[in-house]
Amino acid sequence: MTEPTTTASARLRAEFTARLGAESQSEWLTAFADVRREHYVPSFYRQDAQNQWEEVSAGDPGYLEAVYSDAALTTQLNKHGIPTSSSSEPRLMLAMLDALDAKPGHRLYELGLGTGYNAALASSRLGSENVVSVDVDPDLVHLARSRLARGQYHPLVFAGDGEQGYPDRAPYDRIISTAGLHHIPPALLSQARKGTVVVAPIGFGIARAVVSDDGEATGRFLPVPAFFMPRRTLTKAPDFATLETRTGLPTTVSATDVLDRLKFPLSLALPGYNSCTWQNEAGEVTGIGLWTGDGSTATVHASGKARQLGPQRLWDTVEELAATFPEETPAREDFGLTITPERQHAWYRNPEGPSWSLPPG
C-alpha cells in the first residue's frame, strides 16, 4: 500500500471513529480506531442508476470514503446477483457490540464471520485467543483468515453451520450472530453459561437475551432497526400468478402499513417473510406481495382487496397485527424474547402480552 493511501486511511479512520464516538462513549471505539476496515473489504459491490452491480476496489474514486462511512458494503453476490455476504453498517455493529457488554478476556462466539471485520474488532478488544467465528462459506473463511493474520489477529475461524456452535471452546461468555436468525439456536444456548449475553438479529430487529442458570434466557430488542442477511436456506419462489385467480377479500389494512408500521412485528409473526411492491408510473405503491419459504403467498392492492394462498394464511396474520397495533408504530424496545427448552417466543410489553412463537428450525 502506498504512503498517501495509508495517510488517507488513517485520517478517514480517525474521522470515522470520531463520528461513531459523537453519539456514544463506547469502550469499542479504540478497536474501531485500530482496525483497518479496508483490509477486510478490499472491494465491494454497489448498484448504479440502472440497478446494475459494479465492483469498487481499492484505488477507485470514493472507495476509501465508502469504507469509512456508515454504509453496509455488499461483498459477495450469488450467480443471480443477490447479495450473500456484506460488511454491516459500522454504527449497527457498534450498537450490537455495546449490547454484548463484553469485557477483555470474555470468550466470544460469532455466527457469521463474513469479511472478518467484526472478528478483528472483537480480537482487538477481547484478545484473539478468546474469539471463535464461523461462516457457512469456506471461501469467505479462507479470505477472512488471511486478512485477520495480516492485521496480527488470530481468532479461531472455521467453515460450518454456525447454528451448531463450537463446543470445544464452550462455555462462551458472549454470543453474537451477524447473520439474520429466526430463533436463537439451541446448540448455542447449550454452549453458554449463566449470565451469557446473546445478541442476534431476529426479524427486522436485534434481540439481546441473558441466559439464566437453568438454561433459559430472556431479554428485549434493541431500539435500532436492522436488516441482516438471513442465514442461508432454500426458499420457494412466490406463486403470484395462481394467486391472482382467487377472489379478493376486502381489507382496511393498507400496503403502506405493511411496509412501515407493521414491518417489525410482522417479521416476528412471519419469520423470514419476503415482500415486494408494485408501483405505478408516478412511483406510488399500488400493491404489495408477501411470501414465505413454505410457498404461502398474499397480495393486497390499492383497491383494498387482499388475496392469500398456501399453507399459512399470511394476510390473516397481517390483519391480526393491525388489530393489535391499530394506530401506533410499536417501538422495538417494547418487544422482548423468552427462551425455554420447550419454546422461544417474542412478546410485546411483557411476556404475558401479545406473543409470537418463533419457529424451532
Binds ligand SAM (CB under 6 A): choice among 134, 255, 269, 290: 134
> Contact between 141 and ligand SAM (CB under 6 A)?
no
C-alpha angle 203-204-210 in degrees, rounded to nearest 5: 65
CB of 309: closest distance to ligand SAM in angstroms? 29
The stretch among 159-167, 234-242, 288-296, 336-344 that binds ligand SAM (CB under 6 A) is 159-167
Task: Examine the residue annotation and report whether 88 is marked as an active-site residue of this protein.
Answer: yes
Using rule CB under 6 A, residue 86 touches ligand SAM: yes
Interface map 163-182 toward ligand SAM (x if CB under 6 A): x--------------xx---
**Could you say whether residue 74 binds ligand SAM (CB under 6 A)?**
no
* Contact range with ligand SAM by CB under 6 A, out of 135-143, 190-198, 255-263, 316-324: 135-143
**Burial of residue 247, with CB atoms counted within 10 A of its CB: 0-12 exposed, 13-18 middle, 19 or more buried:** exposed
CA-based radius of gyration for the chain: 21
- Name the minimum Å distance from CB 114 to ligand SAM: 3
Name the residue with the smallest CB distance to ligand SAM: 114
Phi, then psi, of 240 in degrees rounded to 5 = -75, -30
195 touches 218 (CB < 8 A):
no
Taking each helix axis from N to C terminus, what angle separates 117-126 and 138-150, rounded to the nearest 10 degrees? Answer: 40
Catalytic option among 88, 123, 124, 128: 88
Pick between residue 83 and residue 248 the one whose CB is nearest to ligand SAM: 83
Check residue 344 for interaction with ligand SAM (CB under 6 A): no
Q: Does 112 bind ligand SAM (CB under 6 A)?
A: yes
| From 9, 17, 115, 196, residue interacting with ligand SAM (rule: CB under 6 A) | 115
Q: Binding string to ligand SAM for residues 204 to 243, with x set by CB under 6 A, is what? A: ------------------------xx-xx-----------
Site residue total, ligand SAM (CB under 6 A): 24
d(CA 189, CA 173): 11
Residue with cell 471461501: 139
CB atoms within 10 A of CB 294: 11
Residue 343 identity: R
Cα 323 to Cα 163, 260, 315, 327, 333: the distances in Å are: 35, 15, 12, 9, 20
Pick the binder of ligand SAM from 99, 111, 269, 270 (CB under 6 A).
111
Q: Least distance to ligand SAM from the beta carbon of 231, Å?
A: 4
Q: How far is the CB of 317 from ligand SAM (least distance, A)?
A: 25
Residue 114 binds to ligand SAM (criterion: CB under 6 A): yes
Residue 103 interacts with ligand SAM (CB under 6 A)? no
Identify the bridge partners of residue 133 per DSSP, sorted by sequence position: 110, 157
Orientation angle between helical segments 117-126 and 90-100, nearest 10 degrees: 40
Nearer to ligand SAM, 174 or 307 (CB): 174
State the cell numbers at 258: 405493511
Q: Is 44 helix (H, G, I), strand (E, B) or coil?
A: strand
Residue type, 261: R
Cβ burial of 58 (10 Å; 0-12, 13-18, 19+) is middle
Minimum CB separation of residue 169 from ligand SAM in Å reads 16
Nearer to ligand SAM by Cβ, of 137 and 239: the residue is 137
Among 126, 140, 243, 346, binds ligand SAM (CB under 6 A): 140
Q: How far apart are CA 6 and CA 331, in angstroms?
A: 42
With CB under 6 A as the contact rule, the residue among 27, 89, 101, 137 that binds ligand SAM is: 137
Handedness of CA 228, 79, 232, 177 (dihedral sign): negative
Peptide bond just before 171 cis, omega within 30 deg: yes
List, by residue number, the catalytic residues. Answer: 88
Residues that bind ligand SAM (CB under 6 A): 85-88, 111-112, 114-115, 117-118, 134-137, 140, 161-163, 178-179, 228-229, 231-232
